[in-house]
Amino acid sequence: MTTTERSAQSVGVASAVGAYLLWGLLALYFLLLEPTGAWELVAWRVALSFVFCLILLTVTRGWARVIAILRQPRLAALTALAGALIYVNWQVFVLATLGGNIVETSLGYFINPIATMLLGFFVLHERIRRMQWVAIGITVVAIGVIVFAYGKFPWIALLLTASFGLYGLVKKKIGPSVDAISGLTLESLWLLPVAVVQLIAVGATTGITMGANGPVHALLLSFAGIATAVPLLLFAAGTRRIGLVAIGMIQFITPVMQFAEGVLLKHEEMPPARWIGFAVMWIAIAVFVADLAVTARRERSRSALEATPDPL
Protein backbone atom coordinates (compact mmCIF):
# COMPACT_ATOMS: atom_id res chain seq x y z
CA MET A 1 0.00 0.00 0.00
CA THR A 2 1.40 3.38 -1.01
CA THR A 3 1.61 6.39 1.30
CA THR A 4 -1.28 8.02 -0.59
CA GLU A 5 -3.45 4.93 -0.22
CA ARG A 6 -2.65 4.69 3.50
CA SER A 7 -3.52 8.36 3.94
CA ALA A 8 -6.82 7.94 2.09
CA GLN A 9 -7.65 4.89 4.20
CA SER A 10 -6.87 6.77 7.41
CA VAL A 11 -9.14 9.62 6.35
CA GLY A 12 -11.83 7.10 5.44
CA VAL A 13 -11.67 5.34 8.81
CA ALA A 14 -11.68 8.65 10.69
CA SER A 15 -14.67 9.89 8.67
CA ALA A 16 -16.66 6.69 9.21
CA VAL A 17 -15.87 6.56 12.93
CA GLY A 18 -16.84 10.24 13.22
CA ALA A 19 -20.16 9.60 11.49
CA TYR A 20 -21.11 6.68 13.73
CA LEU A 21 -19.97 8.49 16.89
CA LEU A 22 -22.16 11.46 16.01
CA TRP A 23 -25.11 9.18 15.23
CA GLY A 24 -24.53 7.52 18.59
CA LEU A 25 -24.81 10.91 20.34
CA LEU A 26 -27.99 11.99 18.54
CA ALA A 27 -30.29 10.53 21.20
CA LEU A 28 -28.62 12.60 23.93
CA TYR A 29 -28.75 15.71 21.72
CA PHE A 30 -32.49 15.26 21.12
CA LEU A 31 -33.11 14.83 24.84
CA LEU A 32 -31.35 18.18 25.43
CA LEU A 33 -33.95 19.84 23.20
CA GLU A 34 -36.90 19.15 25.48
CA PRO A 35 -39.60 20.49 25.68
CA THR A 36 -39.48 20.36 21.87
CA GLY A 37 -41.64 17.40 20.82
CA ALA A 38 -40.83 14.76 18.22
CA TRP A 39 -43.02 16.18 15.44
CA GLU A 40 -41.65 19.70 15.75
CA LEU A 41 -38.09 18.43 16.10
CA VAL A 42 -38.20 16.38 12.91
CA ALA A 43 -39.79 19.30 11.06
CA TRP A 44 -36.93 21.59 12.10
CA ARG A 45 -34.49 18.80 11.27
CA VAL A 46 -35.80 18.69 7.68
CA ALA A 47 -36.01 22.46 7.21
CA LEU A 48 -32.64 23.27 8.74
CA SER A 49 -30.91 20.40 6.89
CA PHE A 50 -32.21 21.94 3.67
CA VAL A 51 -30.88 25.38 4.64
CA PHE A 52 -27.49 23.91 5.59
CA CYS A 53 -27.31 22.04 2.26
CA LEU A 54 -28.16 25.21 0.33
CA ILE A 55 -25.20 26.92 2.00
CA LEU A 56 -22.92 23.97 1.19
CA LEU A 57 -24.08 23.91 -2.44
CA THR A 58 -23.36 27.62 -2.77
CA VAL A 59 -19.91 27.33 -1.19
CA THR A 60 -18.95 24.26 -3.26
CA ARG A 61 -20.64 25.56 -6.44
CA GLY A 62 -22.67 22.39 -6.70
CA TRP A 63 -25.91 23.75 -8.17
CA ALA A 64 -25.13 22.32 -11.60
CA ARG A 65 -25.14 18.80 -10.13
CA VAL A 66 -28.56 19.32 -8.55
CA ILE A 67 -30.01 20.68 -11.82
CA ALA A 68 -28.56 17.70 -13.70
CA ILE A 69 -30.35 15.31 -11.31
CA LEU A 70 -33.66 17.18 -11.64
CA ARG A 71 -33.45 16.80 -15.43
CA GLN A 72 -33.57 13.01 -14.99
CA PRO A 73 -37.10 12.11 -13.77
CA ARG A 74 -36.18 8.60 -12.64
CA LEU A 75 -33.21 9.82 -10.63
CA ALA A 76 -35.23 12.66 -9.10
CA ALA A 77 -37.99 10.20 -8.16
CA LEU A 78 -35.46 7.95 -6.43
CA THR A 79 -34.22 10.88 -4.34
CA ALA A 80 -37.86 11.52 -3.35
CA LEU A 81 -38.22 7.87 -2.33
CA ALA A 82 -35.00 8.11 -0.34
CA GLY A 83 -36.37 11.22 1.36
CA ALA A 84 -39.59 9.42 2.34
CA LEU A 85 -37.66 6.51 3.81
CA ILE A 86 -35.22 8.63 5.80
CA TYR A 87 -38.18 10.70 7.07
CA VAL A 88 -39.79 7.54 8.49
CA ASN A 89 -36.44 6.63 10.07
CA TRP A 90 -35.99 10.08 11.62
CA GLN A 91 -39.54 10.33 12.92
CA VAL A 92 -39.58 6.85 14.47
CA PHE A 93 -36.15 7.40 16.04
CA VAL A 94 -37.08 10.75 17.60
CA LEU A 95 -40.46 9.48 18.84
CA ALA A 96 -38.73 6.46 20.40
CA THR A 97 -35.93 8.52 21.94
CA LEU A 98 -38.22 11.08 23.54
CA GLY A 99 -40.59 8.29 24.56
CA GLY A 100 -37.96 6.48 26.63
CA ASN A 101 -37.16 3.68 24.16
CA ILE A 102 -33.49 4.31 23.35
CA VAL A 103 -32.56 0.67 24.01
CA GLU A 104 -35.01 -0.51 21.38
CA THR A 105 -33.58 1.94 18.85
CA SER A 106 -30.19 0.32 19.48
CA LEU A 107 -31.73 -3.08 18.69
CA GLY A 108 -32.86 -1.71 15.33
CA TYR A 109 -29.34 -0.66 14.40
CA PHE A 110 -27.88 -3.94 15.69
CA ILE A 111 -30.25 -5.77 13.33
CA ASN A 112 -29.64 -3.40 10.39
CA PRO A 113 -26.55 -5.10 8.83
CA ILE A 114 -28.34 -8.46 8.95
CA ALA A 115 -31.38 -6.96 7.25
CA THR A 116 -29.14 -5.32 4.65
CA MET A 117 -27.75 -8.74 3.72
CA LEU A 118 -31.28 -10.05 3.18
CA LEU A 119 -32.16 -7.06 1.00
CA GLY A 120 -29.02 -7.69 -1.03
CA PHE A 121 -29.99 -11.34 -1.44
CA PHE A 122 -33.63 -10.86 -2.43
CA VAL A 123 -33.42 -7.58 -4.36
CA LEU A 124 -29.89 -7.41 -5.77
CA HIS A 125 -29.41 -11.21 -5.98
CA GLU A 126 -26.17 -11.06 -4.03
CA ARG A 127 -24.70 -14.23 -2.57
CA ILE A 128 -24.94 -14.85 1.18
CA ARG A 129 -22.19 -16.97 2.69
CA ARG A 130 -22.87 -19.86 5.05
CA MET A 131 -21.80 -18.01 8.19
CA GLN A 132 -23.95 -15.05 7.18
CA TRP A 133 -26.98 -17.36 7.03
CA VAL A 134 -26.06 -18.53 10.52
CA ALA A 135 -26.02 -14.90 11.71
CA ILE A 136 -29.42 -14.31 10.10
CA GLY A 137 -30.86 -17.40 11.79
CA ILE A 138 -29.55 -16.33 15.20
CA THR A 139 -31.03 -12.85 14.66
CA VAL A 140 -34.46 -14.39 14.03
CA VAL A 141 -34.09 -16.34 17.28
CA ALA A 142 -33.17 -13.12 19.13
CA ILE A 143 -36.26 -11.33 17.82
CA GLY A 144 -38.35 -14.36 18.78
CA VAL A 145 -37.00 -14.28 22.34
CA ILE A 146 -37.81 -10.58 22.68
CA VAL A 147 -41.33 -11.03 21.25
CA PHE A 148 -42.34 -14.18 23.13
CA ALA A 149 -40.26 -14.12 26.32
CA TYR A 150 -40.32 -10.36 26.88
CA GLY A 151 -43.87 -10.13 25.55
CA LYS A 152 -43.38 -7.00 23.48
CA PHE A 153 -43.18 -6.78 19.69
CA PRO A 154 -40.11 -4.66 18.75
CA TRP A 155 -41.92 -2.52 16.19
CA ILE A 156 -39.60 0.45 16.79
CA ALA A 157 -36.49 -1.63 16.09
CA LEU A 158 -37.98 -3.27 13.01
CA LEU A 159 -39.29 0.02 11.57
CA LEU A 160 -35.85 1.59 12.02
CA THR A 161 -34.21 -1.44 10.42
CA ALA A 162 -36.60 -1.53 7.48
CA SER A 163 -36.54 2.20 6.77
CA PHE A 164 -32.76 2.58 6.99
CA GLY A 165 -32.12 -0.68 5.13
CA LEU A 166 -34.40 0.36 2.25
CA TYR A 167 -32.86 3.85 2.31
CA GLY A 168 -29.43 2.28 1.84
CA LEU A 169 -30.78 0.15 -1.01
CA VAL A 170 -32.17 3.21 -2.80
CA LYS A 171 -28.89 5.08 -2.31
CA LYS A 172 -27.07 2.09 -3.79
CA LYS A 173 -29.42 2.17 -6.79
CA ILE A 174 -28.68 5.88 -7.25
CA GLY A 175 -24.98 5.07 -7.06
CA PRO A 176 -22.40 7.59 -8.24
CA SER A 177 -25.00 9.63 -10.13
CA VAL A 178 -25.94 11.56 -6.99
CA ASP A 179 -23.28 13.00 -4.68
CA ALA A 180 -23.88 13.25 -0.93
CA ILE A 181 -24.68 16.99 -0.77
CA SER A 182 -26.99 16.97 -3.79
CA GLY A 183 -28.77 13.87 -2.54
CA LEU A 184 -29.42 15.26 0.94
CA THR A 185 -30.50 18.61 -0.56
CA LEU A 186 -33.14 16.98 -2.74
CA GLU A 187 -34.29 14.59 -0.02
CA SER A 188 -34.83 17.58 2.28
CA LEU A 189 -36.51 19.57 -0.52
CA TRP A 190 -39.16 16.89 -1.12
CA LEU A 191 -39.83 16.73 2.63
CA LEU A 192 -40.25 20.49 3.10
CA PRO A 193 -44.06 20.41 2.59
CA VAL A 194 -44.31 17.70 5.27
CA ALA A 195 -42.18 19.80 7.63
CA VAL A 196 -44.34 22.88 7.04
CA VAL A 197 -47.55 20.93 7.73
CA GLN A 198 -46.05 19.52 10.92
CA LEU A 199 -44.98 22.96 12.15
CA ILE A 200 -48.45 24.37 11.43
CA ALA A 201 -50.07 21.46 13.29
CA VAL A 202 -47.72 21.84 16.26
CA GLY A 203 -48.27 25.60 16.33
CA ALA A 204 -52.05 25.11 16.38
CA THR A 205 -51.91 22.53 19.20
CA THR A 206 -49.04 22.48 21.68
CA GLY A 207 -47.27 25.56 20.32
CA ILE A 208 -43.88 26.07 18.63
CA THR A 209 -40.97 25.88 21.07
CA MET A 210 -38.37 27.53 18.85
CA GLY A 211 -37.58 30.86 20.51
CA ALA A 212 -40.03 30.26 23.37
CA ASN A 213 -37.58 28.65 25.83
CA GLY A 214 -34.69 31.03 25.94
CA PRO A 215 -31.69 31.72 23.67
CA VAL A 216 -29.71 28.59 24.68
CA HIS A 217 -32.55 26.26 23.71
CA ALA A 218 -33.10 28.15 20.43
CA LEU A 219 -29.38 27.90 19.62
CA LEU A 220 -29.30 24.16 20.36
CA LEU A 221 -32.40 23.57 18.25
CA SER A 222 -30.94 25.59 15.36
CA PHE A 223 -28.11 23.06 15.13
CA ALA A 224 -30.58 20.28 14.17
CA GLY A 225 -29.74 20.67 10.48
CA ILE A 226 -25.99 20.47 11.04
CA ALA A 227 -26.44 17.49 13.39
CA THR A 228 -28.36 15.75 10.62
CA ALA A 229 -26.19 16.62 7.64
CA VAL A 230 -22.64 16.31 9.01
CA PRO A 231 -22.78 12.57 9.91
CA LEU A 232 -24.29 11.75 6.51
CA LEU A 233 -21.53 13.66 4.74
CA LEU A 234 -18.83 12.02 6.89
CA PHE A 235 -20.37 8.62 6.16
CA ALA A 236 -20.26 9.32 2.42
CA ALA A 237 -16.61 10.39 2.68
CA GLY A 238 -15.77 7.23 4.61
CA THR A 239 -17.49 4.77 2.29
CA ARG A 240 -15.64 6.24 -0.70
CA ARG A 241 -12.24 5.50 0.89
CA ILE A 242 -12.57 2.23 2.83
CA GLY A 243 -14.10 -1.16 2.11
CA LEU A 244 -17.43 -2.52 3.26
CA VAL A 245 -15.65 -4.89 5.67
CA ALA A 246 -14.33 -1.94 7.68
CA ILE A 247 -17.69 -0.16 7.47
CA GLY A 248 -19.42 -3.34 8.60
CA MET A 249 -17.35 -3.41 11.79
CA ILE A 250 -17.37 0.33 12.49
CA GLN A 251 -21.16 0.61 12.19
CA PHE A 252 -21.71 -1.14 15.53
CA ILE A 253 -20.33 1.92 17.35
CA THR A 254 -23.76 3.60 17.12
CA PRO A 255 -26.00 0.86 18.61
CA VAL A 256 -23.45 0.11 21.35
CA MET A 257 -23.53 3.80 22.36
CA GLN A 258 -27.33 3.90 22.19
CA PHE A 259 -27.66 0.77 24.31
CA ALA A 260 -25.30 2.20 26.95
CA GLU A 261 -27.19 5.51 26.96
CA GLY A 262 -30.53 3.78 27.43
CA VAL A 263 -29.37 1.40 30.18
CA LEU A 264 -26.78 3.45 32.06
CA LEU A 265 -28.00 7.03 31.64
CA LYS A 266 -31.76 6.74 31.21
CA HIS A 267 -32.14 3.54 33.30
CA GLU A 268 -34.61 1.95 30.88
CA GLU A 269 -36.27 -1.30 31.88
CA MET A 270 -34.13 -4.40 31.14
CA PRO A 271 -35.83 -7.53 32.56
CA PRO A 272 -34.02 -10.91 32.19
CA ALA A 273 -35.95 -11.87 29.04
CA ARG A 274 -34.80 -8.72 27.30
CA TRP A 275 -31.19 -9.28 28.36
CA ILE A 276 -31.41 -12.79 26.90
CA GLY A 277 -32.78 -11.45 23.62
CA PHE A 278 -29.97 -8.90 23.33
CA ALA A 279 -27.38 -11.53 24.28
CA VAL A 280 -28.58 -13.76 21.43
CA MET A 281 -28.47 -10.73 19.11
CA TRP A 282 -24.86 -10.04 20.11
CA ILE A 283 -23.96 -13.65 19.28
CA ALA A 284 -25.36 -13.08 15.79
CA ILE A 285 -23.26 -9.92 15.49
CA ALA A 286 -20.13 -11.79 16.62
CA VAL A 287 -20.74 -14.39 13.88
CA PHE A 288 -21.32 -11.61 11.34
CA VAL A 289 -18.12 -9.72 12.27
CA ALA A 290 -16.07 -12.95 12.37
CA ASP A 291 -17.28 -13.80 8.87
CA LEU A 292 -16.27 -10.33 7.65
CA ALA A 293 -12.81 -10.69 9.19
CA VAL A 294 -12.21 -14.19 7.78
CA THR A 295 -13.42 -13.16 4.32
CA ALA A 296 -11.19 -10.07 4.32
CA ARG A 297 -8.17 -12.18 5.33
CA ARG A 298 -8.83 -14.65 2.53
CA GLU A 299 -9.18 -11.87 -0.02
CA ARG A 300 -5.90 -10.28 1.11
CA SER A 301 -4.12 -13.64 0.84
CA ARG A 302 -5.58 -14.22 -2.62
CA SER A 303 -4.55 -10.75 -3.78
CA ALA A 304 -1.02 -11.23 -2.44
CA LEU A 305 -0.76 -14.60 -4.20
CA GLU A 306 -1.94 -13.12 -7.49
CA ALA A 307 0.53 -10.24 -7.15
CA THR A 308 3.49 -12.60 -6.63
CA PRO A 309 5.44 -12.92 -9.91
CA ASP A 310 5.74 -16.37 -11.47
CA PRO A 311 9.38 -17.50 -11.07
CA LEU A 312 9.17 -19.31 -14.36
Residue closest to 89 by CA, chosen among 232, 221, 219: 232
| Nearby residues of 236 by Cβ (< 8 Å), 6 or more positions away | 179, 180
- What pLDDT is recorded for position 24? 95
Distance CA 109, CA 136 (A): 14
pTM, full prediction = 0.89
pLDDT given for residue 211 in this prediction: 92
**308, pLDDT greater than 70:** no
> pLDDT tens digits for 54-79?
999 999 999 999 999 999 999 999 99
Work out the pLDDT band at 4, boundaries 50, 70, 90. Answer: confident
Instruction: Write out pLDDT tens, residues 231-288.
Output: 988 887 787 777 666 777 788 999 999 999 999 999 999 989 889 999 999 999 999 8
10 Å CB burial of residue 131 (0-12, 13-18, 19+) is: middle
What is the mean pLDDT of the segment spanning 101-116?
90
- pLDDT band at residue 300, thresholds of 50, 70 and 90? confident
Q: Is the dihedral angle over the CA atoms 28, 30, 35, 37 positive or is it negative?
A: negative
